[in-house]
Amino acid sequence: MTATFSGCLRRIIIGVAFLAFGPPLLAAAPKDAKPNVIIVLTDDQGYGDFSCHGNPVLKTPNLDRLHGESVRLTDFHVTPMCTPTRGQLLTGRDALANGAMCVSCGRTPLRRDLPTMADIFAANGYRTGHFGKWHLGDNHPYRPHERGFQETVYCKSWGISSAGDYWNNDCFDDFYYHNGVLKQFPGYNTDVFFNEAMRWMKTCRDKGEPFFVYLPTTAAHGPHFVPEKYREPYRNLKPQVAGFFGMIANIDENMGRLDAFLQAEELRDNTILIFMTDNGGTAGVPIHNAGMRGRKQELYEGGHRVPCFIRWPADKLRPGDLGELTECQDLLPTLIDLCGLKKPEGAVFDGISLATRLRGEQNQLPDRMLVVQYSRITGELRPKKGDACVMWRRWRLIGGQELYDLDSDPGQKQNIIDKHPDIARKMLDHYERWWAGVEKRVHEFNPISIGSDAENPVRLAPGDWQEVHCDQSAQVRRGEPKNAPWNVLVEKDGEYEIALLRYPPEAKLALTASVPPYQGAVGQLPAGQALPIARARLRIADVDQSQPVRGDETAAVFTVKLKAGRTQLQTWFYDAAGKELCGAYYTVVRRK
């Protein structure tokens, strides 16, 4: 009892001292101690959304301190949207090579044959935890606890108010999945994920187990719901910007809490802490974009150049800027080397290890060209050859038609492709080789399993419709006239009950119901429009059935016999005159 009390008191004193005076000098960890690893990945926060990067309005004191203590990759690139970045980070493979190339449209699941960062850490004796956004597959076999994470608390799809999210989640006291089981968590969204991560890290520390934590927040992605105290300093800005900056202020506060926790638990010195963001700027771009052209979804620099801070006090990674061209695919091979992990047999990475460069054992990185390409949700939904940015040293080739020299033109205002045809040709030749390497599998869809013991029943949401963008709760509430098939794998022969719903099952709403706007803790979700649904249709494998439905029913239920194998499942809702209204946004499949 006395020893436990004194240990707790010591940690409290260290934590208070850290907050008051900054980090004290700690003894180095034993040479044979495995370093812990934490990756914090924020959502929709651009390079300019930091006071240390010159933002004239936003204040981020804790991130500024981390910036000062870290190696800073100042020419570091992701993709211009969230899912592709996440897949690249966790596999070290380009988005078009790993399958997770789009935020919806059936292209979010990560290929099963690729080991993830969590798989690799777990195979090397680490405990692995994930807390926050996932967005690499909502269903079996793609969920985080099926991709190497031993502990996970997560929300579905792209986050709060997405079509895949729990109905009426509003960032406060929301329902998330704990190792696949739905559970309500009290508190504000970002606070919950940091709290759960720190709680779990403490259990690892108490057991003497090294850990890898992946902490991808849903903030500062919309809806910009945040406690008023964080929004208040920015009340003179437009409401969207005030909410966005407020969410970042809350992230910053949580980063301070995380650092105090690491100090109090004597973990800070031998923990590799990486902070990065998932794509270019959004709501904050009109305030400050660090001189860059472009934003989220765009191939200009502002769409995919993001911050990356790496701190590891025990290994004496010297703080400062590393301005050579790097990408998020580099982080997995880098961590394998920094942590002394065994690489999986046959594993191939598109990134390279930065370990010797970070340690000062290498003067410069190899000369290389990199490609940024993903599957868009606007215009051409299928990945299109040439829709890419090729990067080489100071050069940026966009769409094969625009060439920019960032040394003389960091804002990418002057297309100089006519002046440097030799440079453009070299970069185009590289792209041709790169495309040839991904083209064979770029139009594959990773199927969702139905009938598996691991997930039965299965809830399908419209964000996984093939090549149709319908991943927002607002689209469902409006009743947008969209429809497409789900790609599924029937795991077992048997009799299946398939329920077609307009609203998610937890909403318990009739097929034809309208619903008023939902007033959340600090914001409002839109109303749900009534649809005159009179008939439902189901097609799967060789089954094609339809039936009339009553307006007061919550679902149209079909019972069918299916054979094991890969197929597509598609649904339709019609009005009394036989006009198609939309697909069943939600379908629940249960093997009986």
First-to-last alpha carbon distance for the chain, in angstroms, is: 53
**What is the C-alpha separation between 429 and 415, in angstroms, rounded?**
19
Closest CA to 569 of 507, 512, 490: 490
- pLDDT string in tens for the chain (592-residue length): 333 443 444 444 444 444 443 444 334 445 568 999 999 999 999 999 999 999 999 999 999 999 999 999 999 999 999 999 999 999 999 999 999 999 999 999 999 999 999 999 999 999 999 999 999 999 999 999 999 999 999 999 999 999 999 999 999 999 999 999 999 999 999 999 999 999 999 999 999 999 999 999 999 999 999 999 999 999 999 999 999 999 999 999 999 999 999 999 999 999 999 999 999 999 999 999 999 999 999 999 999 999 999 999 998 887 899 999 999 999 999 999 999 999 999 999 999 999 999 999 999 999 999 999 999 987 667 899 999 999 999 999 999 999 999 999 999 999 999 999 999 999 999 999 999 999 999 999 999 999 999 999 999 999 999 999 999 999 999 999 999 999 999 999 999 999 999 999 999 999 999 999 999 999 999 999 999 999 999 999 999 999 999 989 999 999 999 999 999 999 999 999 999 999 999 999 999 9
Can you name the residues that pair with 214 across neighbouring β-strands?
39, 130
**What is the C-alpha separation between 406 and 391, in angstroms, rounded?**
11
Q: DSSP H helical segments within 399-511, as ranges?
A: 421-438, 473-478
- The pLDDT value recorded for residue 30 is 55
CB 334 within 8 A of CB 358: yes
**What is the C-alpha separation between 120 and 349, in angstroms, rounded?**
13
Cα–Cα distances in angstroms (integers) from residue 370 to residues 93, 94, 389, 411, 575, in the given order: 12, 10, 8, 20, 51
Closest CA to 376 of 359, 389, 365, 364: 389
- The pLDDT value recorded for residue 138 is 98
CB 461 within 8 A of CB 501: no
**What is the C-alpha separation between 216 and 278, in angstroms, rounded?**
9
Instruction: Scan for tokens 């960062």, then name that residue.
Output: 117
CB 472 within 8 A of CB 161: yes
**What is the C-alpha separation between 445 and 488, in angstroms, rounded?**
9
Cα–Cα distances in angstroms (integers) from residue 539 to residues 105, 468, 491, 558, 583, in the given order: 19, 18, 17, 10, 11
**What is the C-alpha separation between 516 and 508, in angstroms, rounded?**
14
Instruction: Scan for tokens 């407020």, then name that residue.
Output: 246
Can you name the residues that pair with 152 across neighbouring β-strands?
130
**What is the C-alpha separation between 251 and 274, in angstroms, rounded?**
14
- The pLDDT value recorded for residue 551 is 83
**What is the C-alpha separation between 337 and 356, in angstroms, rounded?**
9
pTM for the predicted model, two decimal places: 0.94
**What is the C-alpha separation between 34 and 394, in angstroms, rounded?**
37
- The pLDDT value recorded for residue 548 is 98
- The pLDDT value recorded for residue 377 is 83
What backbone torsions phi and psi does residue 422 show, to the nearest 5 degrees? -70, -40
Please tell me whether residue 372 adopts helix, strand or coil conformation. strand
**What is the C-alpha separation between 19 and 12, in angstroms, rounded?**
11
CB 112 within 8 A of CB 208: no
CB 88 within 8 A of CB 41: no
Structure tokens belonging to residue 483? 């429809």
Letter string b/e over residues 280-299, b meaning 16 or more CB atoms within 10 A of that residue's CB: bbbbbbebbbbebbbbbbbb
Q: DSSP H helical segments within 308-411, as ranges?
A: 331-339, 355-358
Closest CA to 199 of 138, 265, 141, 147: 265
Contacts of residue 206, Cβ cutoff 8 Å, sequence gap at least 6: none
DSSP readout, 5-50? Answer: HHHHHHHHHHHHHHHHH-PPP-PPPPTTPPPEEEEEEESS--TTSS
**What is the C-alpha separation between 485 and 496, in angstroms, rounded?**
18
Please tell me whether residue 89 adopts helix, strand or coil conformation. helix
